[in-house]
Amino acid sequence: MLAEHRNIVTPATNQTTETERIREIAALYREIGDLLKISLQKAMRIGELLTEQKVSLKHGEFMPWLKEHLPFISDRTVRRWMSLYKHRDQLKMDNVSDLTQAYKLLKAPKATHGHVSVDIKDVELNPFFDTSYLIGEAINHWINAIAHIGLHRTTAVRLHGGKYQNICDHNRFAAIKMLGIKDVPLVVVPNMDDKSMKKVLVRFDYREFRQAQEYRRLNHAD
């Protein structure tokens, strides 16, 4: 008697294992990052060449030159690439590594120093600040003070990667955040790289640490 024939499905031998998939995903992710970096470098180089060409021409000749020789590149793209080259030092200082980040920075507020007013939700905490120094009692003190006398002084920030970041006075900053104030006066401090942000914290963190100790001491005394 012939054995009954059955269709038995066996796993395909060419299927990748989970480990192989993880490795390939990680490798492709790194390749995408590398391509974005290369794209930024190439776009910046094009911006440099376009800037040189514009300088070499008389006033009013650049746009006709573009239409004649590079009609496949839009005016908007030309402006963006030239802007990348123009702001190359700022992009380097802000550690911008890819084209997407660079375009976001170009669309961000243009002030790099001086006074501006923004919604507090658009301001970030100092990325190097130890949040254990945020004390509820200190924040409540600032909430009450601001409610009675308002924002009588500006908040010091830096413009980094297209975003404002608070520099010091973090309990006060947390209070402003909790109040959700939409028109906060800021003073934008120029040339504040990561090293400078950390250096400022060495001084201001100590003050806030002492304030935190005092608030905790008073709480335990009660």
Residue 176, token pair as written in the block? 């402003």
Torsion of CA 59, 60, 62, 65, to 10 degrees: -130
Examine residue 73 and state whether it is found in any structural domain, yes or no.
yes
Task: Please indicate, yes or no, if residue 138 is contained in any of the structural domains.
Answer: yes
Do 135 and 207 meet the contact criterion of CB atoms below 8 Å apart? no
CB 177 within 8 A of CB 120: yes
| Domain's final residue, options 84, 107, 130 | 107
Specify if 144 maps to a domain.
yes
Do both 146 and 198 map to the same domain?
yes
Query: Is 69 inside a domain boundary?
Result: yes
Same domain, 102 and 133: no
Same domain for 167 and 119: yes
Which residues form the domain of 87? Answer: 18-107
Q: For residue 214, is pLDDT > 90?
A: no
pLDDT of 153 over the 60 cut: yes
What is the total count of domains within the chain?
2
Q: What pLDDT does 192 receive?
A: 84
pLDDT band at 47 (very low <50, low <70, confident <90, very high): very high
In a domain? residue 211: yes
Cα–Cα distance between 111 and 157 in angstroms, integer?
11
What average pLDDT is seen over the chain? 78
Supply the pLDDT for residue 63. 93
Domain membership flag for residue 13: no
Q: Indicate the residue among 50, 79, 107 that finishes a domain.
A: 107
Tell whether 47 is covered by a domain: yes
Residue 195 within any structural domain of the chain: yes
Tell me, what's the pLDDT at 101? 76
Which is higher by pLDDT, 115 or 221?
A: 115
Q: Give CA–CA dist 105/40, Å, rounded.
A: 13
Residue 44 to residue 85: CA distance in whole angstroms: 5
The verdict on 103 and 190 lying in the same domain is no
CA distance readout (Å), 54 to 63, 64, 65, 112, 166: 9, 11, 9, 26, 39
Are 60 and 101 found together in one domain? yes
User: 182 with 198, same domain?
Assistant: yes
